[in-house]
């Protein structure tokens, strides 16, 4: 292999730099370790690659690329270099715009602010996304590769395990779900499955500690070609007159001094769903009208940057009391079949024909008939609207499908739910503040602006009511306490949902989507930013529509695949970004 020098920089406001010494001889032990830099003066003037962002994707990319003889610069913007103790201190301080459909509620936006990013503060649920319906996969060119994230051909320090210790009352609900018509029970809940299954957590089975990106892809790295810098904030990506990415400009937070570092090959942007679009816009890449309002020179008019924003919403609780509590099942699970063995938790991924057998056709038809121009954000560009209409056509079809999970029933060992919708139809935005562009971005979930999201939540609540009132659980006399049986009409349920709806489910995606440019896409199939050379995006922002799962394993997969792609590109003769 050629002796390339790759540079990698991460955006959470950490810079990680991987450098290859020019000498092939013996290297002192003190130089073998990856370096954590805290002063800009410790950086080289130029690297081959810069990766911006020190989170789930960024650290993974830096680790994989530094396995080769390449030099990396890794930026973790502004972030703490501490561990994930005390989550508030390790999150960005971002709040949303008032949500007009939620009585102007302002929502906290939870995004990791430390080395390791959101993998350091998430709920540790480790679920692969359900493989998309073949037609959906074709429409969005989605490939499903379960081995990509945690392949068997490499040293890997990420773990998922079933720590055990579950409340035996979970079995009551597991067995009751067997009475739901047409529901599935896959034997392997870690294979991207529909139906009812036990899920693992991102926990090291030996240490019983959180397994996350920092431990797997930064701590104890013996890489003389890997540097990471914290305490710096990237201001923009530098583009030459031909729109080739040549490096980054950043500010050292201690004294607000501005510095630049060059990238001779590529810049990889892994700043996350909130900060990736902001940094693109600060660099002159985004909706031209928005950039002009902020007095930013337009380098590439790319209206999809910051659009298509989605997250998994969490609805208000539905709670029952028992007339007579079900008996507690025995706790011994020895030799229980894999499909019935206790995991860390229990979920049911439900398609609409199972969850709403009498209503799914009506919900789909109503959604399909909507004129989306009435429900999108003001000043939505024609390309972005075209992309949302394409998604509308696809998901109207998927609402009728048996292989697409729409609703997530996270089972508690008690008679209650918090409804979760896997595939929302409302689309939000993440844009720079035009009066203070370098402040935190303006986040607008635009929650419930598409009425179909109300229809889906109502269908979920009605499913749970049927589940409690029929089948094995009915014999225990369940009585609805919240919101109460008197909240029964669609209008009453809609009011209840609006009052307790949380659009922030810790799984934000979509603001730099991998779609065709004419549909509002931002990156191509190789995650290169349209209209720019030498710049790729690799994080959750490239996911075009929400996955039916938690997002962390999907993001690890994105990072693994793009790292392999970059290696292949630059190991070819005359490789270029």
Closest CA to 420 of 212, 123, 164: 123
**Top-ranked range on mean pLDDT: pick from 116-125, 195-204, 283-292:** 283-292
Q: What's the mean per-residue pLDDT of the chain?
A: 83
pLDDT band at 22 (very low <50, low <70, confident <90, very high): very low
Least confident of 37-46, 55-64, 433-442: 37-46
Identify the pLDDT of residue 192: 65
- Between residues 19 and 121, the one the model is more confident about: 121
**With 0-12 CB in 10 A as exposed, 13-18 as middle and 19+ as buried, what is 482?**
middle
- Between residues 22 and 30, the one the model is more confident about: 30
Q: Which residues pair with 230 in a beta bridge?
A: 14, 76
Number of H helices, E strands in the chain: 13, 22
**Top-ranked range on mean pLDDT: pick from 113-117, 145-149, 202-206:** 202-206
> What span, in angstroms and rounded, lies between the C-alpha atoms of 221 and 65?
13
Q: State pLDDT tens for residues 393-420.
A: 999 999 999 888 999 999 999 999 999 9
Percent of the chain whose pLDDT exceeds 90: 54
CA angle 436, 440, 444 (to 5 degrees): 100
> What span, in angstroms and rounded, lies between the C-alpha atoms of 207 and 320?
38
Please count the residues of the chain.
Answer: 577
Give the 3-state secondary structure of 323-340. Answer: CCCCCCCCCCCCCCCHHH
Task: Outline where 352-451 has alpha helix (H).
Answer: 352-355, 360-369, 382-398
Compute the average pLDDT of residues 131-157.
53
> What span, in angstroms and rounded, lies between the C-alpha atoms of 57 and 553?
10
pLDDT band at 529 (very low <50, low <70, confident <90, very high): very high
Tokens of 392: 């509308």
pLDDT band at 83 (very low <50, low <70, confident <90, very high): very low
213 neighbors 150 (Cβ within 8 angstroms): no
Q: State pLDDT tens for residues 344-385.
A: 689 999 999 999 999 999 999 999 999 999 999 999 999 999
> What span, in angstroms and rounded, lies between the C-alpha atoms of 554 and 551?
5
Tokens of 5: 């020098």
234 neighbors 268 (Cβ within 8 angstroms): no
pLDDT band at 329 (very low <50, low <70, confident <90, very high): confident
501 neighbors 367 (Cβ within 8 angstroms): no
List residues forming the annotated binding site. 122-125, 234, 506-507
307 neighbors 511 (Cβ within 8 angstroms): yes
Tokens of 331: 């706790």
Identify the pLDDT of residue 156: 65
pLDDT band at 5 (very low <50, low <70, confident <90, very high): very low
pLDDT(340) > 60: no
List residues forming the annotated binding site for FAD. 122-125, 234, 506-507
- Between residues 370 and 42, the one the model is more confident about: 370
pLDDT(300) > 60: yes
pLDDT(459) > 90: yes
Cβ neighbours of residue 100 closer than 8 Å, sequence gap 6 or more: 449
4 neighbors 568 (Cβ within 8 angstroms): no
- Between residues 78 and 107, the one the model is more confident about: 107
Cβ neighbours of residue 127 closer than 8 Å, sequence gap 6 or more: 189, 190, 199, 347, 549, 550, 553
Identify the pLDDT of residue 153: 44
Q: Is the peptide bond between 483 and the residue preceding it cis, with omega within 30 degrees of 0?
A: yes
Identify the pLDDT of residue 371: 98
Global pTM?
Answer: 0.89
């Amino acid at each position: 292999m050629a002796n390339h020098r790759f540079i990698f920089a991460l955006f959470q406001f950490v810079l990680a730099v991987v450098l290859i010494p020019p000498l092939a001889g013996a290297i002192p032990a003190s130089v073998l370790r990856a370096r954590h830099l805290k002063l800009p003066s410790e950086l080289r003037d130029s690297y081959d690659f810069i990766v911006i962002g020190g989170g789930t994707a960024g650290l993974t990319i830096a680790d994989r690329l530094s396995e080769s003889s390449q030099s990396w610069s890794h930026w973790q913007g502004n972030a703490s270099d501490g561990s994930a103790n005390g989550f508030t201190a390790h999150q960005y301080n971002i709040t949303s715009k008032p949500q007009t459909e939620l009585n102007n509620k302002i929502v906290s936006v939870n995004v990791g602010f430390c080395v390791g990013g959101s993998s350091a503060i998430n709920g540790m649920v480790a679920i692969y996304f359900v493989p998309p319906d073949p037609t959906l996969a074709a429409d969005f060119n989605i490939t499903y590769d379960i081995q990509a994230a945690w392949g068997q051909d490499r040293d890997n320090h990420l773990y998922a395990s079933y720590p055990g210790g579950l409340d035996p009352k979970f079995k009551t609900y597991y067995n009751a779900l067997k009475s739901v018509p047409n529901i599935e029970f896959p034997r392997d809940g870690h294979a991207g499955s529909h139906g009812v299954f036990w899920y693992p957590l991102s926990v090291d089975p030996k240490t019983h500690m959180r397994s996350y990106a920092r431990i797997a892809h930064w701590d104890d790295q013996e890489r003389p070609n890997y540097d990471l810098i914290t305490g710096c904030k990237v201001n923009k990506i530098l583009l030459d007159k031909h729109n080739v990415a040549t490096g980054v400009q950043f500010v050292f937070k201690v004294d607000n001094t501005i510095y630049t570092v060059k990238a001779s090959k590529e810049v990889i942007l892994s700043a996350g769903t909130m900060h990736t679009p902001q940094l693109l816009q600060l660099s002159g890449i985004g909706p031209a009208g928005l950039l002009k309002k902020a007095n930013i020179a337009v380098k590439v008019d790319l209206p999809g940057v910051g659009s298509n924003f989605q997250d998994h919403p969490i609805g208000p609780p539905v709670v029952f009391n028992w007339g007579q509590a079900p008996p507690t099942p025995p706790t011994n699970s020895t030799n229980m079949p894999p499909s019935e063995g206790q995991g860390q938790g229990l979920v049911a991924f439900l398609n609409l024909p199972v969850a709403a057998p009498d209503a799914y056709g009506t919900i789909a038809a109503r959604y399909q008939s909507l004129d989306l121009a009435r429900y999108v954000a003001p000043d939505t560009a024609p390309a972005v609207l075209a992309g949302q209409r394409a998604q509308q056509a696809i998901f109207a079809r998927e609402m009728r499908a048996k292989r697409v999970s729409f609703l997530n029933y996270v089972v508690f060992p008690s008679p209650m739910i918090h409804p979760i919708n896997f595939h929302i139809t409302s689309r939000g935005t993440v844009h720079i503040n035009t009066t203070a562009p370098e402040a935190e971005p303006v986040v607008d979930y635009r929650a419930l602006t598409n009425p179909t999201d109300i229809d889906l939540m109502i269908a979920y609540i009605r499913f749970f009511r049927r589940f409690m009132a029929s089948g094995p659980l009915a014999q225990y006399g369940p009585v609805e306490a919240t919101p109460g049986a008197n909240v029964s009409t669609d209008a009453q349920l809609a009011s209840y949902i609006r009052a307790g709806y949380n659009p922030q489910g810790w799984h934000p995606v979509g603001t730099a989507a991998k779609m065709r440019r004419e549909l509002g896409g931002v990156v191509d199939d190789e995650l290169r930013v349209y209209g720019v050379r030498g710049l790729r995006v690799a994080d959750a922002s490239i996911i075009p529509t929400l996955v039916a799962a938690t997002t962390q394993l999907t993001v690890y997969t994105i990072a693994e695949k793009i790292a392999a792609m970059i290696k292949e590109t630059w190991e070819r003769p005359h490789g270029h970004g």
